[in-house]
Amino acid sequence: MAFLVAGTLQVASKMADARQSLERKGKYGLQGPRVALTLCSPEVSASTVAVLEGVFRTLGFESCQRREASVQGFLGELAGFQEQLDALGGPMGCALVALVAPRGQLRQPQQLVQELSHCRALWGCPKVFLLLSSAPGAASEPGAFLTVLSELCGRFPHWSLLQLLTEVFYRTAKESEATCCPVLRSSLRGALCLGDVEPWEPQLEPSPSTQYDLSGTRAALLLSVVHDRPGAQHDVEALGGLCRALSFKTTLRTDPTAQAFQEEMAQFRECLDARRAPVSCALVALMAHGGPQGQLLGADGQEVQPEALVQELSHCRALWGCPKIFLLQACRGGQRDAGVGPTALPWFRCWLRASPTTPSHADVLQIYADAQGSSSAGPAPGSPDQADVLMVYAAAEGCVAYRDEEKGSDFIQTLVEVLRADPGAELLELLTEVNRRVCELEVLGPDCQERVKACLEIRSSLRRQLCLQA
């Protein structure tokens, strides 16, 4: 019994330290060991694995394991890795897992990602997944993504990982002549800096080429179903005011049907293409009820796929090379997340000074990229027209998004609060702060008797830093 109590207190103390670090500095503390694992299929070249292991060492990972297995065996290998970490008896600082397989074989990566989220030693700790696809018969030398990643990790260890990846995406696009488009998915709650230097210490200022030029017209489209969504009007008012404050020419449509969602997006695209003056940025907010598979429901109850709306704007000629921001306030399923963490008695919760649980989908960073170029072997993880897209979901995949009838949704209201406080900061950093605040909340929905947690998902193929106010 004493052993169980001691173990629980140890994990709880680690989570309290991590939470206080995130509150105080907005970054992960990384006090514990860093562990790395490479899972690769037999077809993966030795040179690719060697570059990966060099990246791990540069980033300060003390333990670097490598296991070769078929893609079907990846889940079992990850389960064994999880058990190994839990058996160490102490909290970790960070875990990095590289999954390398021929293109198209990693069909359900979320199942692999979720496996490590169950690891008790990693509760509240960042978990980074590098999902690399390689082309059958590709050259033995690693492609642009791994080459640039290796170089920048060595040169700029003081940069936060999201900042580093944005620069990698930019340089990869130049090296590969836009034939591939890396994508990241983040639910991080703070800055993740794997070097030994604070990311806000004096550093090289980014060159103008690494920032989006927002000197042209900015356009925003807000599509919101307010009927039978109490509190939605508060989101419309708050987001509309923010867009105007950030100099977006804003179009608002309320209670669109499923067909109207598509028609409004097509009209928005046509208007942008018809403009003579340059367009530098577009923001689209989609606010509605959500279907069980992440569909949006129009005011008529019919479904529309958000991916189709994103694709519509990606074809806009006026926005080629420009950032396209999508905010999705909608449920993505019916799951309610109770969070992960040690069971807490009332006195225990007071001692931690906060809820001891963390959303089970939080603290994960996934990077999808090509390991060996993509010249002639089929589509890369993201096609060129998916570049420069930033999507922010109010809920993790499969989960409920919450909205207060009197105040509006947690996501939109927190987003507006954070951006108004510091509109000149880099947008990915601001969104990470939004997620931290949302993850701290405990939600008691109208049809739920227990308090639950929420977590954002940020997807980015941005290739430059994005600051909405100079």
d(CA 370, CA 144): 8
Residues 113 and 116: their CA atoms lie apart, in Å, by 6
Residues 260, 200: contact at Cβ < 8 Å?
no
Q: Which residues partner with 171 through β-bridges? A: none
* Known active-site residue 271: no
Q: What are phi and psi of 267, to 5 degrees?
A: -65, -40
Residue with tokens 């189709």: 308
In 3-135, the DSSP E strands lie at 34-40, 63-68, 94-102, 127-134
The number of beta carbons lying within 10 Å of the beta carbon of residue 140 is 9
Look up 289 and say whether it is catalytic.
yes
- Rounded distance between C-alpha atoms, residue 140 and residue 262, angstroms: 44
Q: Which of 43, 35, 101 is nearest to 74 (CA)?
A: 101
| Rg of the chain, C-alpha, whole Å | 22
3-state SS, residue 281? strand
> In this structure, are residues 460 and 453 in contact, taking their beta carbons and an 8 Å threshold?
no
| DSSP β-ladder status, 183-186 and 364-370 | antiparallel
Which one is catalytic: 64, 119, 180, 331?
A: 331
Q: What stretches of 71-195 show up as alpha helix (H) in DSSP?
A: 74-87, 109-117, 144-155, 161-175
Residue 425 exposure: Cα atoms within 13 Å on the Cβ side: 14
Asked if residues 235 and 409 have their Cβ atoms less than 8 Å apart, the reply is yes
d(CA 222, CA 216): 20
Measured CA to CA in angstroms, residue 76 lies from 42, 71, 365, 404, 446 at distances of 16, 10, 21, 41, 39
8-state DSSP, 80: H
Out of 289, 316, 361, 455, the active site residue is: 289
How many other C-beta atoms can be found within 10 angstroms of the C-beta atom of residue 275?
12
- Largest distance between two CA atoms of the chain: 73
Gap between the Cα atoms of 40 and 108, Å rounded: 16
Q: Provide the annotated active-site residues.
A: 289, 331
